[in-house]
Amino acid sequence: MVRFSYRVLDAEKAAQLNDKHKQPALLDPRANVSLSIPTLEKVGQLRQSTAPEAGKVYWMVFSNKERYVKRGDRVSVDRQVPRRQPAG
């Protein structure tokens, strides 16, 4: 697991990270991987989804089962990935 914490400077821009309809991805160009936020049956997504406020710190957790992303890697977060809808 990779915990990504961030301090909100602009609440309007940060709202995209907290949008329940979007699935942020953690991108690591060195490892050429894109990590997603896991969804647990009883808990839901491992991230905060409340309306962000400037000056506060928020977090989200990305699955890194294969340990592709290593400590010290430079990563970025893509906030525009639409969340997949279950088939059926």
Separation CA 58–CA 81 (nearest Å): 19
Q: How far is residue 37 CA from its own chain's centroid?
A: 6
Which tens digits make up the pLDDT trace of 39-66?
A: 888 888 888 888 999 999 999 999 999 9
Cβ proximity of 18 and 72 under 8 Å: no
pLDDT at 49: 81
Pure H helices in 1-88 = 11-18
- Name the band, by pLDDT with cuts 50, 70 and 90, for residue 67: very high
- Per domain, the residue ranges of the chain are 2-72
Separation CA 67–CA 28 (nearest Å): 12
Cβ proximity of 11 and 19 under 8 Å: no
pLDDT at 84: 53
- Name the band, by pLDDT with cuts 50, 70 and 90, for residue 35: very high
pLDDT at 42: 86
pLDDT at 76: 92
- What's the average model confidence in pLDDT over 78-83? 66
Separation CA 82–CA 20 (nearest Å): 10
pLDDT at 87: 47
